[in-house]
Amino acid sequence: MVAEVIINSTAKKLNRTFDYNIPKELENMIFIGSKVLVPFGRLKNLEEAHVVGIKQSSDFEIKDIAKVETGLTDKQIELANWMAKRYFCNVSECIKLMQTPGTRTKNVNNRIQDKKINVVYLKKDFDEISFDIESGKIKSDKQVRILNFVRDNEGCTIPEIEAFTECSRGIANTLIKNEYLELVETKFERNPLNTKKVDSTQNLKLTDEQQEAFNKVAESIDNKKYEQFLLYGVTGSGKTEVYLQLIDKVIKEDKSAIVLVPEISLTPQMLDRFISRFGKEKIAVLHSKLSIGERHDEWERIQEGKANIVIGARSAIFAPVKNLGIIIIDEEHDSSYKSEASPKYNAKEVAKKIAKEANIPLLLGSATPDLTTYYNAKETKKITLLELTKRANNSNLPKVEIVDLKQELANGNRSMLSNDLYQAIEQNLKDKLQTILFLNRRGYSTFIMCRNCGYTVKCKNCNISMTYHSYENKLKCHYCGYEEKLVKTCPECGSDKIRYFGTGTQKLEQEIHKQFPQAKIIRMDVDTVTKKNSHEEILNKFKNEDIDILIGTQMVVKGHHFPKVTLVGVIAADSSLNIDDYRATERTFQILTQVAGRAGRENLPGKVIIQSYNPENFSIQDAQKQDYEKFYDTEIALRKQLKYPPFCDIIVIGFNSINEEEIKKVSNLAYEIAVKNLNDEEFKIFKPMPSPIDKIQNKFRWRIIIKGNMNEKANVALNELLKTLYDKDYKNTKITIDVNPNNMV
């Protein structure tokens, strides 16, 4: 028997199968999906590979497979092959996403191992031990205390014996030496939910709208039928309760569920809701802030069927769940469901593929759906639309006010806070209510410039301005992480007229401390959530410790429920409007509507103040009214006129190289091949140009933009284009293809 294997490598030339003989002694152990170690080329060490096919013979002289390890299922291999073709990457890159965390390294010695601990058991029958106590063979009261404790708590550890019996380790060791107790090595699960303590809750009574949404998805579950649903509900309309009751139904039928959330910061609150309903034992959590050991053990719990509800960020879609019954994607509009690194997969597309294969429903939820998703629900009917028009607890949507910052300047107010926002914060502090201030820029100042000659401090590795971080007193590049000391004199003209422009969350925090010295303030952005569990700690502090004001980036705008928050201030609504992207207005509307949804979620009235230099922009006006339908009608008409998604796909061929001449040569050749292979009536192909940020990490960046519908024929043509370019062996240039990328820079 012969195995066709894919070598675990990112090299494009190795993105093909190689034949290896299956030794007789391994024939019953190797299947499609098996992970194997093989001798490859002239390399001394064995290479990791995955079996993607098995056949009777080979046309080549082939080597033997050296070793077999645990692997994937044939369905996972099939999904990896589909993803490699769909997202223009190596099969091995897709396979890595489906492997147990901590086992993806080739070096076996570096892989995460099961954590083992020694636990204590009785070695003799307790009747025999009792006889030894009564006969005086065991005289020590402390030894008797330990033996009684172990009898009642078999499987305890030595530290637990010390803590609960107030006896020393030495006494326990004496009992082990005298063969009354024994130490047994056992696996210890690194469970991130162990410290969670949440009161249990019951299913709530659904509103008529919630019940109708539940019934339609439940029908799909009962009929074992794939169907895609969009649960479109205003902020606070009770989408999570619908998720919980659908999962309850699935669990009762002995099936599993995957729930994707976009931000790690959303996971703690979502987890609390799920734990209170289902308990810790059934739930596994997967996200990047867990230790690699915790992710390894959570993955194994899922694989062994111990956890049947998986909650996590994008990559949790690959969790090895048994008997999947439903996939739910919360805040489906969020850009984080699309990977920026290879493989550049879209978790929503992968979820759709998995749901179709399993004949189960895929439920997407959002208060501000992705425009393409809503178009497919409203116009093409590819998605079933479910609507929740009212807040679940009958609270009113907050009152939204727009402040024109141009007018504030004309009135002499140069503060970061408009007069209206200042007064509203002041009143909230008097009323002992909470405020959220949203500014989607971290750091202190977004760029530093010399007022004398116009010199701007840029990263030495990237063609991008450095951001000033006041707490470390450093300049940082948010693209490559490069840091340098603060510039005090201009390196161009020697002037000391260095000035800070733009504002970030650090500067806002300083300003709020200055204007409201009595207020308790907490900040939440990338710089404050670097430690493990820091998201949860900040959110819990804000909720439970009488913090008055939460300052944050987009981490604070989605999905959180804070009963005492009655005021939300948007410091600069224009920051997302000014990005070089066709989705700028959509993202502005989504962010403003989501952040407004944090106010007045209980019985207290909510107020939102949006500060803007462009108050007349339709996305800001529609966000004020929280009128998604009106925004959608305006934006979809513009997209149709300009031929942007959902009326076409945007395909970006990206080039990245340390050699400027080579990148020009490769990108021009790629353009010629694209023009030749793609029908010019169906596709508009723009000539290669430097990217808006034309240098990152000392590598030049160019791109080709193509507009057209990404069909099977186009996919084949673009995969052929990649193969042609890599066959020419341009060593310094990396080429990627991304369909509808999040970031156009």
pLDDT tens digits, 308-344: 999 999 999 999 999 999 999 999 999 999 999 999 9
Distance CA 730, CA 741 (A): 24
pLDDT tens digits, 642-698: 999 999 999 999 999 999 999 999 999 999 999 999 977 889 999 999 998 899 999
DSSP string for 391-443 = -TT-PPPPEEEEEEHHHHHHTT--SSS-HHHHHHHHHHHHTT-EEEEE-S--S
Helix (H, G, I), strand (E, B) or coil at 703: strand
pLDDT tens digits, 106-130: 555 556 667 778 889 999 998 999 9
SS (H, E, C) 439-465: CCCCCCECEEEECCCCCECECCCCCCE
Distance CA 526, CA 530 (A): 7
Distance of CA 185 to the CA centre of its chain: 36
Q: Is the pLDDT of residue 269 over 90?
A: no
The pLDDT score that the predictor gives to residue 481 is 86
Plot region of 316 (φ>0 → left; ψ -120 to 50 → alpha; else → beta)? alpha
Q: Which of 49, 9, 13, 51 is nearest to 32 (CA)?
A: 51
- 15: its two tokens: 């993105």
Contact by Cβ (8 Å): 162, 265: no
In CATH, the number for domain 399-444+503-635 is 3.40.50.300
Distance CA 88, CA 346 (A): 13
**CA–CA–CA angle 79, 82, 709 (5° rounding):** 140
What is the homologous superfamily of the domain 2-99 according to CATH? PriA, 3(prime) DNA-binding domain (3.40.1440.60)
Q: Where are the domains of the chain?
A: 2-99, 115-188, 208-388, 399-444+503-635, 649-739
- 453: its two tokens: 């000659």
Distance CA 3, CA 34 (A): 10
Neighbouring CB atoms inside 10 A of 188's CB total 15
Distance CA 393, CA 28 (A): 59
Query: b/e for 133-145, b at 16 or more Cβ within 10 A?
Result: beeeebeeebbbb
- 227: its two tokens: 């169907």
The reply to whether omega before 343 is within 30° of 0 (cis) is yes
Q: Is the pLDDT of residue 189 over 60?
A: yes
Contact by Cβ (8 Å): 207, 313: no
Helix (H, G, I), strand (E, B) or coil at 653: strand
CB under 8 Å to 592, separation ≥6 — which residues? 570, 573, 610, 619, 620, 623
**Structural Rg of the chain based on CA atoms:** 30
The pLDDT score that the predictor gives to residue 111 is 62
Rounded to the nearest 10 degrees, how much is the dihedral formed by the CA atoms of 415, 435, 503, 409? -30
Distance CA 216, CA 201 (A): 24
* Reported confidence tier of residue 478, pLDDT bands at 50, 70, 90: confident
pLDDT tens digits, 370-379: 999 999 999 9
Contact by Cβ (8 Å): 228, 362: yes
Contact by Cβ (8 Å): 550, 437: yes
Q: From residue 543, give the alpha-carbon distance in Å to each of 414, 562, 593, 725.
A: 32, 6, 22, 55
Amino acid at 686: F
* Reported confidence tier of residue 104, pLDDT bands at 50, 70, 90: low
Q: Is the pLDDT of residue 468 over 60?
A: yes
Contact by Cβ (8 Å): 559, 261: yes
Place of tokens 């998720």: 243
Contact by Cβ (8 Å): 180, 120: no
Contact by Cβ (8 Å): 729, 649: no
Q: What is the mean pLDDT of the chain?
A: 89
Distance CA 233, CA 392 (A): 10
Q: Which of 556, 97, 714 is nearest to 350 (CA)?
A: 97
Distance of CA 647 to the CA centre of its chain: 27
pLDDT tens digits, 11-21: 888 899 999 99
The pLDDT score that the predictor gives to residue 187 is 76
CB under 8 Å to 521, separation ≥6 — which residues? 509, 512, 513, 547, 548, 549, 550, 551
pLDDT tens digits, 294-306: 888 899 899 999 9
CATH level 2 (architecture), domain 208-388: 3-Layer(aba) Sandwich (3.40)
Contact by Cβ (8 Å): 143, 175: yes
Pairing state of beta strands 474-476 and 483-485? antiparallel
Helix 141-152 vs helix 126-134: crossing angle, to nearest 10: 160
> What is the separation, in whole angstroms, between the first and last Cα of the chain?
50
Distance CA 558, CA 262 (A): 9
Between these two residues, 605 and 557, which has the higher pLDDT value?
605
Q: Is the pLDDT of residue 462 over 70?
A: yes
Provide the β-strand partners of residue 655. 702, 735
Long-range contacts at 100-107 (CB < 8 A, ≥ 24 apart): 100/296, 100/299, 100/300, 100/303, 101/292, 101/295, 101/296, 101/299, 102/292, 102/293, 102/295, 102/296, 103/296, 106/8, 106/45, 106/47, 106/48
Distance CA 495, CA 488 (A): 9
What is the homologous superfamily of the domain 649-739 according to CATH? Ribosomal protein S10 (3.30.70.600)
Q: Is the pLDDT of residue 556 over 90?
A: no
Q: Is the pLDDT of residue 194 over 70?
A: no
Distance CA 158, CA 170 (A): 10
The pLDDT score that the predictor gives to residue 432 is 92
* Reported confidence tier of residue 501, pLDDT bands at 50, 70, 90: confident
Amino acid at 620: I
Q: Is the pLDDT of residue 602 over 70?
A: no
**For residues 375-390, average pLDDT:** 95
Count of CA atoms in the C-beta half-sphere (13 A) of 608 = 28
- Containing 302, the helix (H) or strand (E) segment is helix 292-303
Q: Which of 646, 708, 699 is nearest to 677 (CA)?
A: 708
Q: Which of 682, 723, 679, 683 is nearest to 705 (CA)?
A: 683
Distance CA 274, CA 240 (A): 9
**CA–CA–CA angle 275, 278, 283 (5° rounding):** 65
The pLDDT score that the predictor gives to residue 559 is 57
Distance CA 553, CA 551 (A): 7
Q: Which of 687, 573, 552 is nearest to 621 (CA)?
A: 573
Q: Which of 281, 217, 224, 220 is nearest to 243 (CA)?
A: 217
Lowest mean pLDDT among 236-245, 441-450, 469-478, 554-563: 554-563
Domains 208-388 and 399-444+503-635 share a fold: yes
pLDDT tens digits, 615-631: 999 999 999 998 999 99
